[in-house]
């Protein structure tokens, strides 16, 4: 436990009178409870794995099968056609038992085998059903008879009360698309970006690849798809994320900000305590698999594999490639404040600390006026700079002694918390404040976030919150799920009188229901037993290490100076109007972004929109190429005075439909870029050069976009409480001369945009891009309203 509660369970001394033993009963009790908690968690994992292994069958169905078999036996009918007798004579432990035990034991074994066979047939039938994706391509309106029958069958076979990981073994594998189809889709996507001569050259390269080396690479890739769980995900994680040697900050990590329209308290310790507590409740549900799996249309499950590394995970630097290290459990969090690091225990005497107890601990840190050790304040700059210097510093200075112990405390923490000493806010009369908030979450000061941790929770001095997340372990929807859950618990669960939502409190004690704030803004509840004191981490950083830290900080400062991030609250209209226009909101915004970019730069560009492939086991993302010939036709028509509004609307709806088809293709394994990426990896393994793949993989994404998902839980009704949605988050620009654009469709009447680019590029400007987006959205609205 913490230093205030003794570090050892017993001490002894040897004197001339003999050996004196002093037993610390409180410490022994704490050790016993900690061990008991670990055993319970291990048993819980084993139980969940057994349930998931046979799902959608249930343990109760085994009892039904056994009862069915015994009923036939008692009626004098052998339902096994002699198999029970065979089991009785061929299983030594049954043949040597008494006749009664032997007979009924054989019945139990037979019933169990029948039940397992039924469970696996059921599971693999569900997997076959989930390979059907035609339902996604059906236009709005009446379903086809085939889809109706499929939907009813999936619902019947989908099981009852699934846990988070229940569907994992029923999800289909991601299949490899044909090279011919990928080549055709690729050529269609680049057609509006190339002139006739360049397109003819690219078409020739593509066809030569398709008829030549592509066939050999495809065979290897198909072979991998049979062997591996997912033919893309491991290579994507290794080569796109972990092999990168450039800084994580801005280049890879992403961020999110608070629900900016409200703030339940301005007290930093109180807000930090409730959000930390809400995240720990989420972690408990995650560990017990009590989070509901995400179901499309309340029927089709998405892969939940990415949730496994959300907590107790850190990215460890390597010379050529980093590695992700995940710990099964942690009983503490790491906290940074004004250059000092603290270890904060979240359990005491086997119980999770209540918000009011966490608040007290956080306040102790805020009130601590001790000075940082030399180099301690800027230590986290090592995680913000280049990976190789951080690797060498770690090997040289953090392998033993107090530095290793303190680094372990940070890396083995459930998550990292940064208590900022500056306020952040949103002011509708001063948009720059929200942009400043976003910048603080994206990069901070370059040394006050531990960028290697799975995520850093940031709490500002006036009680605003946000996070910065490392990207290799999972994609944004996983963090968005945690964020949405935490926002709800923080805003709505107000103590023991709060309404019970979902099944959270079915496993919680009365003491758990103490989240919320008093009228003065403090955490609700009372402290009955003083919580463990925070432990100040100690560092001994020699001068050479200090120089590495300063070099990393200088690199971080250069990155920060170069990023240009602007946030936009577009509240003129939102999803409500877009749906009235009978256009998909995502397609609507993507077309507006195409229009905005074209007006600024007088040309089109390769555009990336992130789409998920979690319909498949261990699926992550695929690229939707949003710039299409149809979107270009619409954009040109918008600024063509010869085009009538009716023509522009028709072109937009056609472009939106094409975009929707491309999104569905990406989601169902018929995308372009992950297939080409994996073919490129195979070519490198085989040491084969492909001019086509080399050129395709080097094309810059000058417009990289992503929609932040929300309402992944059933807790928050945005129709009633639209002000409670987070303002979303964003990321840095992908190309030196491009933009990173993230957006969240916040209810019916608001859309948040996060636009980034580089100051060093003379042709890009986030503020001008924001203005262009606003004008594009306004012009599209006018087009529909005057129709």
Q: Is the separation of the CB atoms in 361 and 531 below 8 Å?
A: yes
Q: Is 453's pLDDT higher than 90?
A: yes
563 φ/ψ angles, rounded to the nearest 5 degrees:
-85, 140
For residues 191 and 202, give the distance between their C-alpha atoms in angstroms, rounded to a whole number: 10
Q: Which position has the higher pLDDT, 89 or 613?
A: 613
Rounded to an integer, the average pLDDT of 336-352 is 94
Q: What is the total residue count of the chain?
A: 787
Q: Is 116's pLDDT higher than 50?
A: yes
Q: Nearest to residue 287, comparing CAs of 164, 456, 458?
A: 164
DSSP letter assigned to residue 427: B
pLDDT at residue 418, as a whole number:
98
Residue 115 binned pLDDT confidence (cut-offs 50, 70, 90): confident
For residues 665 and 612, give the distance between their C-alpha atoms in angstroms, rounded to a whole number: 11
Q: What are the structure tokens assigned to 134, written together? A: 């035609």
Q: Tell me if residue 297 falls in helix, strand or coil.
A: coil
Which element (helix H / strand E) includes 343?
A: strand 340-345
Residue 724 binned pLDDT confidence (cut-offs 50, 70, 90): confident
Q: Is 7's pLDDT higher than 60?
A: no
Taking only the tens place, the pLDDT of each residue in 243-269 is 999 999 999 999 999 999 999 999 999
- Tokens 């939502």, located at residue: 501
Q: Is 38's pLDDT higher than 70?
A: no
Q: Cα separations (Å) of 748 from 574, 577, 720?
A: 5, 8, 11
Residue 112 binned pLDDT confidence (cut-offs 50, 70, 90): confident
Residue 494 binned pLDDT confidence (cut-offs 50, 70, 90): low
Taking only the tens place, the pLDDT of each residue in 359-396 is 999 999 999 999 999 999 999 999 999 999 999 999 99
Rounded to an integer, the average pLDDT of 611-630 is 96
Q: For residue 29, what are the contacts with CB-CB under 8 A and spacing of at least 6? A: 349
Taking only the tens place, the pLDDT of each residue in 189-217 is 999 999 999 999 999 999 999 999 999 99
> Any idea which residues carry the catalytic annotation?
471
Q: Tell me if residue 606 falls in helix, strand or coil.
A: coil
pLDDT at residue 24, as a whole number:
58
Q: What is the pTM of this model?
A: 0.90
Percent of the chain whose predicted confidence (pLDDT) is above 90 = 72
For residues 333 and 348, give the distance between their C-alpha atoms in angstroms, rounded to a whole number: 13
- Give exposure, 132-159, as e/b (b: 16+ Cβ within 10 Å): bbebbeeeeeeeeeebeebbeebeeebb
Q: Is 98's pLDDT higher than 80?
A: no
């Amino acid at each position: 436990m913490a230093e205030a509660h003794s570090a050892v369970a017993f001490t002894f001394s040897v004197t001339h009178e003999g050996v004196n033993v002093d037993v610390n009963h409180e410490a022994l009790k704490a050790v016993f409870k900690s061990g008991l908690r670990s055993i319970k968690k291990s048993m819980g994992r084993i139980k969940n794995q057994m349930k998931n292994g046979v799902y959608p069958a249930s343990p109760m169905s085994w009892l039904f099968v056994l009862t069915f078999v015994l009923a036939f036996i008692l009626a004098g009918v052998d339902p096994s056609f002699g198999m029970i007798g065979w089991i009785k004579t061929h299983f030594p432990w049954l043949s040597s038992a008494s006749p009664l035990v032997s007979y009924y034991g054989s019945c139990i074994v037979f019933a169990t085998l029948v039940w397992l066979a039924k469970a696996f047939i059921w599971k693999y039938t569900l997997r076959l059903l989930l390979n059907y994706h035609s339902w996604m391509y059906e236009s709005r309106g009446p379903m086809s008879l085939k889809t109706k029958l499929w939907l009813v069958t999936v619902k019947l076979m989908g099981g009852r009360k699934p846990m988070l990981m229940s569907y994992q073994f029923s999800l289909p594998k991601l299949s490899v698309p044909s090279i011919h189809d990928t080549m055709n889709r690729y050529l269609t996507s680049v057609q509006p970006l190339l002139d006739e001569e360049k397109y003819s050259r690219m078409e020739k390269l593509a066809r030569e690849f398709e008829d030549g080396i592509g066939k050999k690479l495809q065979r290897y890739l198909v072979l991998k798809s049979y062997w591996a769980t997912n033919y893309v995900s491991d290579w994507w994680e290794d080569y796109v994320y972990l092999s990168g040697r450039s800084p994580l900050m801005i280049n890879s990590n992403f961020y999110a900000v608070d629900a900016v329209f409200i703030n339940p308290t301005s007290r930093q310790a109180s807000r930090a305590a409730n959000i930390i507590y809400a995240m720990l409740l989420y972690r408990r549900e995650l560990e017990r698999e009590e989070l509901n799996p995400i179901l499309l249309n309340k029927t089709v499950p998405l892969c939940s594999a990415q949730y496994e590394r959300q907590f107790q995970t850190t990215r460890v630097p390597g010379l050529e490639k980093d590695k992700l290290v995940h710990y099964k459990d942690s009983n503490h969090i790491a906290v940074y404040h004004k250059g000092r690091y603290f270890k904060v225990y979240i359990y005491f005497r086997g119980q999770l600390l209540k918000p009011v107890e966490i608040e007290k601990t956080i306040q102790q840190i805020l009130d601590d006026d001790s000075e940082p050790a030399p180099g301690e304040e800027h230590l986290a700059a090592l995680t913000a700079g280049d990976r190789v210097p951080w690797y060498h510093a770690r090997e040289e200075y953090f392998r033993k002694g107090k530095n290793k112990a303190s680094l372990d405390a940070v890396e083995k923490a459930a998550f990292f918390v940064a208590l900022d000493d500056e306020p952040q806010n949103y002011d509708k009369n001063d948009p720059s404040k929200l942009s400043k908030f976003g910048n603080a979450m994206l990069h901070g000061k370059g040394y006050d976030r531990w960028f290697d941790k799975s995520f850093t929770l940031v709490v500002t001095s006036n009680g605003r919150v946000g996070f910065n997340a490392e990207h290799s372990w999972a994609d944004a929807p996983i963090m968005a799920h945690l964020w949405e859950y935490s926002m709800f618990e923080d805003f709505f669960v107000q103590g023991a009188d709060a309404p019970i939502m979902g099944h959270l409190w079915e496993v919680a004690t009365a003491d758990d229901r103490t989240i919320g704030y008093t009228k003065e803004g403090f955490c609700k509840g009372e402290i009955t037993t003083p919580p463990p004191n925070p432990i100040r981490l100690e560092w001994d950083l020699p001068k050479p290490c200090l120089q590495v830290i300063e070099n990393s900080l200088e690199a971080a400062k250069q990155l920060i100076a170069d990023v240009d991030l602007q946030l936009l609250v577009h509240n003129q209209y939102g999803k409500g109007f877009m749906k009235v226009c009978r256009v998909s909101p995502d397609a609507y915004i993507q077309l507006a972004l195409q229009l905005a970019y074209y007006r600024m730069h007088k040309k089109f560009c390769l555009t990336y929109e992130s789409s998920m492939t979690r319909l498949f086991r261990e699926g992550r993302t695929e690229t939707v190429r949003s710039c299409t010939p149809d979107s270009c036709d619409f954009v040109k028509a918008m600024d063509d005075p010869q085009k009538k509004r009716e023509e522009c609307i028709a072109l937009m709806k056609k472009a939106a439909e094409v975009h929707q088809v491309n999104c569905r293709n990406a989601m169902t394994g018929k995308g372009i870029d992950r297939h080409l990426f994996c073919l490129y990896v195979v070519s490198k393994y085989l040491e084969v050069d492909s001019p086509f793949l080399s050129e395709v993989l080097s094309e810059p994404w000058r417009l990289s976009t992503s929609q932040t998902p929300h309402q992944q839980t059933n807790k928050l009704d945005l129709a009633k409480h639209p002000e409670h949605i987070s303002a979303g988050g964003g990321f840095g620009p992908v190309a030196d001369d491009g933009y990173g654009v993230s957006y969240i469709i916040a209810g019916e009447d608001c859309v948040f945009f996060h636009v980034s680019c580089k100051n060093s590029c003379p042709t890009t400007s986030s503020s001008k891009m924001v203005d262009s987006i606003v004008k594009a959205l306004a012009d599209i609205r006018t087009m529909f309203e005057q129709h």
